[in-house]
Amino acid sequence: MEINDTLNTYEEWIASPEGTSIETRTHELVSTLLPSTGGKRLLGVGCKTGRDLVFFRNLGYLVTGTETSRVLIDAARQKISPGIDLHLGDSEDLPFSDSEFDVVAIMTSLESTENPLQAIREAVRVSRARVVLTLINHASPFAQRIRTTSFPAPAFHSFRVFEALRLVRAAMPGVPVEWGSIVFFPAGWYPRAEDIDRKIPWRKNPFGSIAGISFPVTYQFRTLQEPLGANVEVRLRENRRVPGTACNRER
Dist CA 113 CA 108 (whole Å): 10
Dist CA 133 CA 178 (whole Å): 11
Q: What is residue 2's DSSP assignment?
A: -
Sheet strands side by side (includes 62-67): 85-88, 62-67, 41-45, 101-107, 127-136, 210-216, 178-182
Residue 21 pLDDT > 90, yes or no? yes
Q: Supply the DSSP string of 133-156, one letter for each residue.
A: EEEEBTTSHHHHHHHHHT-S-SS-
pTM of the model: 0.82
Single-letter amino acid, residue 218: T
Q: What is the pLDDT of residues 124-134, one digit of tens each?
A: 999 999 999 99
Reported confidence tier of residue 107, pLDDT bands at 50, 70, 90: very high
13 compared with 198, residue with greater pLDDT: 198
Q: What is the pLDDT of residues 143-178, one digit of tens each?
A: 777 666 645 445 678 899 999 999 999 999 999 999
CB 68 within 8 A of CB 90: yes
3-state helix, strand, coil in the chain (%, to 5): 35, 20, 45
CB 32 within 8 A of CB 25: no
- Where are the chain's structural domains? 3-216
What's the CA dihedral at 127, 178, 48, 97 to 10 degrees?
Answer: 10
Considering the segment(s) 3-216 as one domain, its CATH architecture is 3-Layer(aba) Sandwich (3.40)
Residue-level pLDDT at 181: 97
Facing residues of 124 across strands? Answer: none
Q: What is the pLDDT of residues 239-248, one digit of tens each?
A: 443 334 333 4
